[in-house]
Amino acid sequence: MAKTIYVINGPNLNLLGTREPGIYGRFTLADVEKLCRDRAKDLGFEIEFRQSNREGEIVDFLQEARARQAAGVALNPAGYTTTSVAILDAILAIELPVIEVHITNIHAREEFRRHSYVSKAAKAVICGFGIEGYALAISGLAALTEKRG
Ligand code: CA2
């Protein structure tokens, strides 16, 4: 049975492609989902694709990934990146590789976006590649999974 990778998106990412195209581009979250499914399929993985505007629901998704023995998680915590100790604690608790993804280069934007609680527990961080960053995270998780046997 193909191993599953969770792709979890935080608040407001449901608006992708409909607002602020100058910052986040014209691709929608449905386009991101298709990109993730295509890359995962090429690599022999399946995708659980989630989005929530609620912090606790993101914690629930992370715990679900653990319970379902997922290979790992690609997580764009969006606005919770800079504030959420609860999401940090969930990542520490689930003991799965979590790749933090940001569409934009958070280091080239406002100073407050640079601090990430999630980075303290993430296996790796990808930012600035646009939505291609999600595909890179899936490739990285697939490589890690192969390495671990
Ligand atoms: O670059 C990213 O992926 C971010 O995680 C996006 C977050 C932002 O708070 C982070 O600093 C960087 C914002 C997501 C909001 O998404 C929108 C998409 C379209 C229109 C408005 C918001």
**What is d(CA 122, CA 15) in angstroms, rounded to the nearest whole number?**
25
- Nearest atom of ligand 1 to the alpha carbon of 102: 3
Q: What is the mean pLDDT of residues 101-115?
A: 97
Residues with CB under 6 A from ligand 1: 12-13, 15-16, 19-20, 24, 76, 78-79, 81, 102-104, 106, 113
What local confidence, expressed as pLDDT, does residue 1 receive?
65
**Residue range(s) defining the domain that contains residue 39:** 4-148
Higher local confidence (pLDDT), 148 or 34: 34
pLDDT in tens, 42-64: 999 999 999 999 999 999 999 99
The CATH number linked to 101 is: 3.40.50.9100
DSSP assignment letter at 117: S
Q: How far is it, in rounded angstroms, from Cα 43 to Cα 37?
A: 10
Integer Cα distance of 107 and 92 in angstroms:
24
Given a cut of 90, whether residue 148 has pLDDT beyond it is no
The pTM of the full predicted model, rounded to 2 decimals, is 0.97
Q: Into how many domains does the chain fold?
A: 1
Q: Is 21 exposed, middle or buried (0-12, 13-18, 19+ CB in 10 A)?
A: exposed
Q: Can you tell me the mean pLDDT for 94-99?
A: 97
pLDDT of residue 147: 87
Ligand 1 centroid – CA 13 distance (Å): 6
* 7-25 pLDDT, tens digit each: 999 999 999 999 899 999 9
